[in-house]
Amino acid sequence: MLLKNKTTLITGASSGIGKEIAQLFAAEGSNLILTARRIERIKELANQLTKKHNIKTLPIEIDVRNYDLVKNKLTNLPKDLNKIDILINNAGKALGIEKINDGIIEN
């Protein structure tokens, strides 16, 4: 139970790998901050995981392409979830446009 009472932030948690990781981490007792563009999906997932595993969850609507929104949301987390222990940076669409090392990182 290495994840018990840890706080994990998962981007792209509304479906696919992000959703599966959320379910696995919740089963191990990790509290979750779930982010995605589709807020209704992560709200539903958060409710299910809280009830099933008795953990804290926080769904946040975020598009990771919007730096200012991400910064604002993540600097204003509730006190009981503001110490993030683990980041699963899963959000995004792999469109094959450019290599990761050629990506533009600003700010």
Domain with residue 79: its CATH number is: 3.40.50.720
Q: What is the pLDDT of residue 65?
A: 85
Tell me the sheet residues that pair with 60. 35
Q: What is the pLDDT of residue 42?
A: 96
Q: What is the pLDDT of residue 30?
A: 98
CA–CA separation, 7 vs 65, rounded Å? 23
Stretches in the chain below the pLDDT threshold 50: 107
Q: What is the pLDDT of residue 102?
A: 65
Flag whether 35 is in a domain: yes
Number of domains the chain is built from = 1
Flag whether 98 is in a domain: no
Domain limits at 18? 7-92
Q: What is the pLDDT of residue 107?
A: 46
Q: What is the pLDDT of residue 21?
A: 97
pTM to 2 decimals? Answer: 0.85
Residues with Cβ < 8 Å from 98, sequence gap 6 or more?
none
Pairing of strands 57-61, 31-36: parallel
CA–CA separation, 105 vs 2, rounded Å? 32
Flag whether 17 is in a domain: yes
